[in-house]
Structure 1
Amino acid sequence: MSSHHPIARASLLTLAIAAALSSTPLQAADTKPAPSLSQTSAALGIPEPTVIAHRGDPFNAPESTRPAYLLARDLGADYLELDLQRTKDGQLIALHDNTLTRTTNVADVFPERAEAPVSQFTLAELKQLDAGSWFNKAYPDRARPGFKGLKILTLDEIRAIAEGGPNHPGLYIETKVPAQFPGIEQDLKRYLKDSDWIGATARSHSGSERQDSVHQDRERPSAVNVGYTPGRVILQTFEKKSLDALQQQMPNVPKILLLWGGEGSIPLEKSAPQGANETDADYYARQQVASRADYGEWLRYAKDHGAIGVGPSTVQHAHDGIFSRQFSYMELAAPWMVDMAHEHHLLVHAYTVDQSTDLDTYRQRGVDGFFTNRPAVALKRFGRTPAQSVNDLLSAYGY
């Protein structure tokens, strides 16, 4: 079946998951997943290794904004990743933090509500905020005048970006703090179904507008066609209850249970409190899971509740400035952990890996996909060097 035609999602996905569930266990540990996992990825159209653009390309543009997602799309990332929240008036938007203080000028526009959660703002109010200037201040070496005044995006705006241009990435959507947004899983299902991103058929995008594309040659073959596959949407969450709700609402859509350690997550060994001069990255790096059985319990839960994989955190060993260390966490993708996940017939999509040496390390352990803040680095490392540079693309976009 051509990838440029509508796809019968439900039947293909059901067959792929059934194949994974019925396959035989792994043999000896290896750096590659078991054949059943590769077959599942192939049936769903999930590339291997998967390059997941974490909040777009937040190394080169303000996270979760238009230029960040345009960059990720046109560089060739397989998925555009986003954190889903809901406004006071019921609109689905993309924002990572629970509050707006880090990445907007909310303190200037709404000083009395500066620390309020996103759920207390209407979409019209959020659209008044500047979501780009903070980046210019934080990273002056990557600052651009066009970043000033960037807006918070809705899920619908990100979908339109994914559909535009010659490359067609999928969407990788996290239910962020879902307890604050009761019923958000049902809202997401309704939106994706109404937008023809899930359901009995999937839109071919043959008539999609391409005004955002730098490439004007319509005959140029697409480098990325995940958006045409049964795995065009992947749902992710840290919360077991949200995983259950997503499975209830969208049983035929691939899901990933994100892994973390500590209260409410995988139990950790007791350790000394964080030192006054100890960075978050160094503190996280010395945390250890309490036992293999505790780790395995989360894998079993993922498998038994509809997930096709897990998303463990990683330790970033390579440094090139403060940015990469912001996303260095505890080691939940050690070799034995990756092996155990594969023994449970679960894919492993690790977060957040930005450096070439770390991509090599975790790929050698058998990690199947990577959340990354630097999609150009990951793509180049996996033999998919982008056709155009970041600077050329941003300039073409007018930033």
Structure 2
Amino acid sequence: MLKGMSNNLFRKTPIAQLLAASVFTGLMLSSAVAVSAEAPGKTLSEKIGLPWPAVIAHRGASFDAPEETIPAYTVARELGADYLEMDIQRTKDGVLIALHDDTLVRTTNVAEVFPARAKDPVSTFTLAELKQLDAGSWFNKAYPDRARASYAGLQILTLDEVIDIAEGGSNKPGLYIETKVPAQFPGIEADLKKNLEKRGWLTSRPAADAGHVNVAHMPGRVVLQTFEKPSLELLQQEMPQVPKVLLLWIGEGSIEPKSNVAFKDSGFKDKASYYGAQEVKSEAEFAAWMDWAKAHGAIGTGPSTKLTHGGDQSYMDLVKPWMNKMAHDKGLVVHPYTVDDEVDFKKVSDDGVDGFFTNRASELLKFYGRPAKESMDAILKRNGY
């Protein structure tokens, strides 16, 4: 419409041409202002050097493959996710590994291999001991409809092995790294800096070929995240130029709730319903967390989300429109966790967020109009799974 209108106007007299140019310029400026007003997080993301809206593959493509394993991260990379997201812990012998839980029972066969140590913290195991564990078979038992025989025997990965995957394809995703239970690993922030520095991720990286994910070449190639205020301070101290996100929760050690009634006393039958009913104590309390995050180096927040269909990843609703607006007004981007369904992609996007942590990168990419060129099955089979 604008193109047709401008062509007609510019065929007129010189005065008309000037008027037409003014009208056209005004319309374009109005359009730009409208886009900016609709998506303040886009402007912030571009300024920081982050993709917008961001597709953050939570523990890899963890809906379709065992979390934080080779196939999960390889699939996420091949699908076209912007970031490979991981949780970093440290072995007894000082190696950084990618693993979510601080014990091994849920996602490995530790009870069979080390029965007397099954409930011991990850930090009490050496890398060699961890590499003996099967980190894939649990997935086949938990999700038989997505099971693959090739998942049996998958290993826990080191940070270096995840970086190898990020670097190993035509797509060049970034790294979105959480310091997990950092109080158990004094100095892990400094260790992380050394590792990233050694691998060349704290300076500019080569660009991907045209038509491929190029986040590793952007200033926001690495994003550091944590729930813990002391860890954010240490990450800022070690890597002041690297974007950081403060993850948000309601409860002990995080945002103060309006009600302190415990789950066991609440009358709710499931945790999702209980979490979904939790509210922040006040707008001022929420603002205080935003201000603290900003003052200590964060460029964004990672808030929890209440999901339409509930489930074990449905938590508190910390992505209400006023919350997202407050974050943006304070110069913070908003990357909520962990959203997998289109109904929630749409609702929460409409409320003003800047991307998502998702277990289903394939579905989020479709929602954003960036569908993968291959099916999930084809990618898995091509990579030996």
The corresponding residue for 2:241 is 252
Where 1:241 maps in the other structure, the secondary structure is helix
Percent of aligned pairs with the same residue?
A: 59
Pick aligned residue for 2:271 from 263, 271, 280: 280
| Contact 1:166/1:222 (8 A) holds in 2 | no
Render the CA deviation track for 1:231-255: whole Å, top value 9, x for unaligned.
Answer: 1000000011000000000000000
Structure 1 residues 178 and 79: CA distance shift in structure 2, 3 A: same
Does residue 154 of the first structure (1) align with residue 158 of the second (2)?
yes
Structure 1 residues 118 and 157: CA distance shift in structure 2, 3 A: same
The corresponding residue for 1:337 is 323
| Contact 1:31/1:366 (8 A) holds in 2 | no
| Contact 1:33/1:342 (8 A) holds in 2 | no
Structure 1 residues 194 and 380: CA distance shift in structure 2, 3 A: same
Compare relative contact order (CA 8 Å, sep 6+) and give the higher one, 1 or 2: 1
AA partner of residue 326 (structure 1): D
| Contact 1:31/1:365 (8 A) holds in 2 | no
| Contact 2:182/2:188 (8 A) holds in 1 | yes
AA partner of residue 53 (structure 1): A
Render the CA deviation track for 1:150-198: whole Å, top value 9, x for unaligned.
Answer: 0000000000100011100000000000000000000000111111100
Structure 1 residues 90 and 192: CA distance shift in structure 2, 3 A: same
TM-score where L is the length of structure 2 = 0.88
Where 1:172 maps in the other structure, the secondary structure is strand
The aligned runs of 1:203-352 (5 Å cut-off) are 203-204=205-206, 221-270=210-259, 272-274=261-263, 278-318=269-309, 325-352=311-338
Where 2:246 maps in the other structure, the secondary structure is strand
AA partner of residue 32 (structure 1): E
Query: Structure 1 residue 274: deviation in Å?
Result: 2.5
* Higher Rg: 2
RMSD value over aligned CA atoms? 1.9
More helix by share: 2
Following the alignment from structure 1 to structure 2, what is the Cα–Cα distance between the partners of residues 223 and 317? 33
AA partner of residue 204 (structure 2): A
**Structure 1 ranges of 4+ moved more than 4 A:** none
The corresponding residue for 1:65 is 69
The aligned runs of 1:1-399 (5 Å cut-off) are 32-34=38-40, 37-198=41-202, 201-204=203-206, 221-270=210-259, 272-274=261-263, 278-318=269-309, 325-399=311-385
The corresponding residue for 1:19 is none
AA partner of residue 156 (structure 2): I
The corresponding residue for 2:3 is none
| Contact 1:136/1:142 (8 A) holds in 2 | yes
Structure 1 residues 160 and 205: CA distance shift in structure 2, 3 A: farther
Query: Structure 1 residue 335: deviation in Å?
Result: 1.1
TM-score where L is the length of structure 1 = 0.85
Following the alignment from structure 2 to structure 1, what is the Cα–Cα distance between the partners of residues 126 and 261? 42
| Contact 2:60/2:75 (8 A) holds in 1 | yes
Render the CA deviation track for 1:48-80: whole Å, top value 9, x for unaligned.
Answer: 110000000111000000000001000010000
| Contact 1:75/1:375 (8 A) holds in 2 | yes
Render the CA deviation track for 1:107-138: whole Å, top value 9, x for unaligned.
Answer: 00011110011100000000000000000000
Where 1:326 maps in the other structure, the secondary structure is coil
Query: Structure 1 residue 205: deviation in Å?
Result: 7.2
Following the alignment from structure 1 to structure 2, what is the Cα–Cα distance between the partners of residues 277 and 133? 33
AA partner of residue 246 (structure 2): L
Aligned residues: 351
AA partner of residue 398 (structure 1): G
Query: Structure 1 residue 273: deviation in Å?
Result: 3.6
The corresponding residue for 2:24 is none
Render the CA deviation track for 1:178-237: whole Å, top value 9, x for unaligned.
Answer: 000000000000111111100xx323278xxxxxxxxxxxxx734210011111000000
Where 1:100 maps in the other structure, the secondary structure is coil
Structure 1 residues 292 and 44: CA distance shift in structure 2, 3 A: closer
